[in-house]
Amino acid sequence: MTETSPPERTAVPYQLTYLVLALAITAYSLLQSLVAPVLPLLEQDLHTDRNTVTWILTAYLLAAAVATPILGRIGDMIGKKKVLTAVLVIACIGSILGALASSITLMIVARAIQGIAGGVIPLAFGIIRDELPRDKVTGAVGVISALIGVGGGLGLVLGGPIVDRLNAHWLFWIPAIAIAVAAIATHLIIPESPVRTPGRVSWIAAVLLSSWLIALLVAISEAPQWGWASSSVLGLLVAAAVLAALWMRCELRSDSPLIDMAMMRIPAVWTTNLAALLIGIAMYSIFAFVPAFLQGTPEAGYGFNSSITESGLIVLPLSVAFLLAGIGSGPLAHRFGAKAVLVGSSVAASASLLILAFAHSAIWQVMLSMLLMGAGFGLAFSSMSGIIVHAVPSHQTGSASGTNANIRTIGGAIGSAMMASIVTAHLLPDGLPTEAGYTTGFAILAIASALGAAAALLIPSKPTPVTIPSDIQLTDTPNTATISN
């Protein structure tokens, strides 16, 4: 494939472009978790059950996982600014629909539409690659990656005050306004990306990707009710495995893959993406279930009878630590290497989850867990971005970074469904989950994060020339690349 550039462009300071992208990313990241603290409230208002209401989060992550690679590809083809603006407009429409929703079905549909905003990640990374000076790209991608997590943590904090002072509908009206501002700023300020990569969207791959994810998520989430050994659950798991195999085969044979499997075979890329999947399982599940855990009653063995606002304040250290870790990740990576930072941060995140699982009788214990968790995940997000940026040729920075973020999102969708399955497997007579459900769930998330550290250990530590096998070609990439930490 060849890349073409428009002959004339409007000069825009790259700092201003980056500021608009940061606004768009922050608005997107708030959507991930803003409704999480009020899931028990939405469960009552929408007359549904605890397992079904979790799909408000899962549907969002599922839609983001499918939309992210598709929109990244379309942006490369027809223009990143144009597609980014359209994505933000669609996310705004989804937010408005969520504000007006009066049934759980309509709410899940609205959240799926909001999930299309996941496309802002590869588009933002691509614009950063095109617009910023080369020596600024690595740091800019790292900060943007940190903002994804920071915004998610802030959503947990802001949900309570919004509901207390306004009502639950404003959890959608406020993001709609923020996204609308980001869309207008994108249209007026960001210059159209100079790079065009001719190609096409592999819609068969998109259908297969969404199909195997849906089959897997439905099987995991419904297993407590249907039974893990039931024919329905086993059939869905088999279908997910078959569809996933067909999807990977389709991507390998495609001239325009949604996720470049050839690039995924670079040692530093596949190992980092494996760590991203496992870390995503752990982190996004925390967004979904910690607020409800804190709002539980001590009589049930957990929780502090916290209000929505109080539960948000308890998890505030997570957001603060996430932001500070994102800022400090660069010097740490320079001193110790990004691989070492990723391993250490994954271990820290695992330790924080173990604290949450087995030492949650006092608020200070939970806040300590949140502080350690924010530092761990914040360093992990930024260090993964740094590893990916240095593992691929410069013109694949956007694609590779977007893929890494997308794999984290896929992990989050799987983790949220898995956590919901565990927590709702055993309920108290009043319908609340038992302490054992949360303890088991958090312990499993700790294992997932620890496995992420193990995957990070496999990342090559020293620059190593990598030759792509002759039977495959990296999309728009020479046959050699340099891997570094």
- Chain centroid to CA 265: how far? 22
Identify which of 186, 202, 189, 185 has the alpha carbon closest to the alpha carbon of residue 74. Answer: 202
The 3-state DSSP class for residue 465 equals strand
pLDDT of residue 94: 94
Judge if 148 and 227 occupy the same domain.
Answer: no
Is the domain of 270 the same as that of 289? yes
The band of 397, judged by pLDDT with boundaries at 50, 70 and 90, is low
Q: Specify if 280 maps to a domain.
A: yes
Q: Sign (positive/negative) of CA torsion 192, 392, 453, 208?
A: positive
pLDDT (0 to 100) of residue 354: 95
Cα–Cα distances in angstroms (integers) from residue 137 to residues 133, 386, 428, in the given order: 7, 10, 51
Q: Is the pLDDT higher at 467 or at 51?
A: 51
* Residue 466: band (very low, low, confident or very high) from pLDDT cuts 50, 70, 90: very low
Q: How far apart are CA 396 and CA 405, in angstroms?
A: 14
Please indicate, yes or no, whether residues 299 and 391 belong to a single structural domain of this protein. Answer: yes
**pLDDT band (50, 70, 90) for residue 372:** very high
pLDDT of residue 479: 34
Question: Is the domain of 196 the same as that of 211?
Answer: no
CA 459 to CA 469: how far, in whole Å? 19
For residues 379 and 341, the answer to whether their CB atoms sit within 8 Å is yes
* pLDDT single digits (tens) 146-195: 777 777 778 888 888 888 888 888 999 999 999 999 999 999 998 887 77
Residues 149 and 292 occupy one common structural domain? yes
| pLDDT for res 328 | 78
Q: What is the pLDDT of residue 274?
A: 93
| DSSP result, 84-144 | HHHHHHHHHHHHHHHHH--SHHHHHHHHHHHHGGGGHHHHHHHHHHHHS-HHHHHHHHHHH
Contact 357, 310 (CB under 8 A): no
Residue 86's contacts (CB-CB under 8 Å, 6 or more residues apart) are: none
Residue 3 resides in a domain? no
C-alpha 82/C-alpha 178 separation (Å) is 18
Strand positions, DSSP E, 181-292? none
Residue 9 lies in a domain: no
Asked if 86 and 126 sit in the same domain, the reply is: yes
Write down the pTM of the prediction: 0.78
Asked if residue 175 and residue 219 are part of one domain, the reply reads: no
Number of separate domains in the chain: 2
Residue 8 covered by a domain: no
403 and 285 housed in the same domain: yes
- Which CATH number belongs to the domain containing residue 175 in this structure? 1.20.1250.20
Q: Are residues 151 and 281 in the same domain?
A: yes
In a domain? residue 4: no
If pLDDT is split at 50, 70 and 90, which confidence band does 237 have?
Answer: very high
Q: Are residues 209 and 163 in the same domain?
A: no
Question: Which of 193, 222, 253 is where one domain is finished?
Answer: 253
- Verify that 153 and 226 share a domain, yes or no: no
Q: How confident is the model at residue 243 (pLDDT cuts 50, 70, 90)?
A: very high
Instruction: Report yes or no: 5 and 196 within 8 Å, Cβ to Cβ.
Output: yes
Residue 462 pLDDT class (50, 70, 90 cuts): low
Asked if residue 223 and residue 139 are part of one domain, the reply reads: no
Over residues 53-75, the mean pLDDT reads: 84
Mean pLDDT of 372-378: 91
At 395 the pLDDT is 62
Tokens at 14, concatenated? 């790259």
Range(s) of the domain holding residue 227: 203-253
How many Cβ atoms from other residues are within 10 Å of residue 278's Cβ? 26
pLDDT at 1: 46
How much is the pLDDT for 10?
53
Residue 308 domain flag: yes
* Between 142 and 367, the higher pLDDT residue: 367
Amino acid at 145: S
Q: What are phi and psi of 192, to 5 degrees?
A: -65, 135
User: What's the pLDDT score for residue 2?
Assistant: 46
Averaged pLDDT for residues 217-239: 85
Last residue of a domain, one of 253, 269, 291: 253
What is the average pLDDT score of the chain? 83
**Are the CB atoms for 417 and 219 separated by under 8 Å?**
no
Candidate ranges 15-24, 45-54, 90-99; pick with highest mean pLDDT: 90-99
Asked if pLDDT for residue 476 goes beyond 60, the answer is no
Residues paired with residue 483 on neighbouring β-strands, in sequence order: 464
In a domain, 186, yes or no: yes
Q: pLDDT tens across 193-210, in order? A: 777 776 677 788 888 988
In a domain, 194, yes or no: yes
pLDDT in tens, 280-300: 898 888 877 888 899 888 887
Q: What is the DSSP string of 328-372?
A: HHHHHHHHH-HHHHHHHHHHHHHHHHHHHHH--SSHHHHHHHHHH
Weakest-pLDDT range from 90-99, 261-270, 389-398: 389-398
Q: How confident is the model at residue 477 (pLDDT cuts 50, 70, 90)?
A: very low
* Residue 51 in this model has a pLDDT that exceeds 90: no
pLDDT score for 398: 60
Q: What is the pLDDT of residue 453?
A: 94
